[in-house]
Amino acid sequence: MWEDPWPKPCYLFALVAGALEVKEDTFVTSSGRTVTLRIYTTKKNINKVDFALESLIKSMKYVGGWAWGVSGWGWGVVGVVGLWHGNMWP
């Protein structure tokens, strides 16, 4: 079971169920901690998530350079779900 070390508003969490594929990478923080990054989507769209994964890594590098920094990243896994619905994703 995953436990979040910091309380957050409930709107930041969701339950997603279905036949999803995952693309995974890792990010090493400035303190040397490895964080697993996962992006989930349908089999049809798994080839479209490379840019999202690269953007996530770039944003974590950016955030690591200011304020609270990624060196204190409290999670070992970051998961993102990208699903097509209506006209949101061609």
Q: What is the mean pLDDT of residues 11-25?
A: 83
pTM value is 0.72
pLDDT confidence of 17, banded at 50, 70, 90? confident
In a domain, 89, yes or no: no
Q: Provide the number of structural domains found in the chain.
A: 1
Q: For residue range 23-49, list pLDDT tens digits in order.
A: 999 988 877 888 899 999 999 999 999
CATH number for the domain including 26? 3.30.2010.30
Which pLDDT does position 78 carry in this prediction?
A: 85
The pLDDT of residue 87 is above 70: no
In a domain, 4, yes or no: no
Q: For residue range 64-84, list pLDDT tens digits in order.
A: 655 445 455 667 888 888 887
Q: What is the 3-state secondary structure (H, E, C) of the chain?
A: CCCCCCCCCHHHCCCCCCCCEEEEEEEECCCCCEEEEEEEECHHHHHHCHHHHHHHHHHHHHHCCCCCCHHHCCCCEEEEECCCCCCCCC
Strand 34-41, strand 21-28: pairing: antiparallel
Q: What is the mean pLDDT of residues 7-32?
A: 81
